[in-house]
Amino acid sequence: MADHVTVEICMGTTCYMMGSAQMAGMAERLPEEWKDRVTITGKRCTGACQKAGQYGRAPFVRVNGELIGAADEGKVLAAIRDLLEA
C-alpha cells in the first residue's frame, strides 16, 4: 500500500486532444479521503505519441511511475485506488 500517489498527466498537444483536456480539474473531483494523499501534475510531451501510428495510445498518464496508455479519468482513478487501498 502506498502512502502517497503522484499522477503525471501528459499535457502535450496529442495527449491533450486525445483526452487529457477532459482530465482538467481532476484534483477537485478526487474523493475527499484521497485529496491529501494524491498529487496531480501536468507533463510535457515525451515524444511517445509521435511514434508511427501511436496517436491512438495517447493520452499517456503515469501513476507512481506506472504508464497508462489511452488513459481516462476512470482508468487513472482505478490505478490510484489499487495503490492507496491495496
Q: Which residues would be at the binding site for ligand FES (CB under 6 A)?
A: 10, 12-15, 45-46, 48-49, 58, 60
Q: Which is nearer to ligand FES, 10 or 38 (CB)?
A: 10
Q: Which three cell numbers stand for residue 76?
A: 487513472
Closest approach, Cβ 55 to another protein, in A, equals: 5
| Cβ at position 15, least distance to another protein in Å | 9
Instruction: Please calculate the CA angle 68-61-31 and round it to the nearest 5 degrees.
Output: 100
- Whole-angstrom distance, CA of residue 15 vs CA of residue 81: 23
- Cell matching residue 2: 502506498
- What does 60 interact with, of another protein, ligand FES, none (CB < 5 to 8 A by kind)? ligand FES
Residue whose C-alpha cell is 475527499? 32
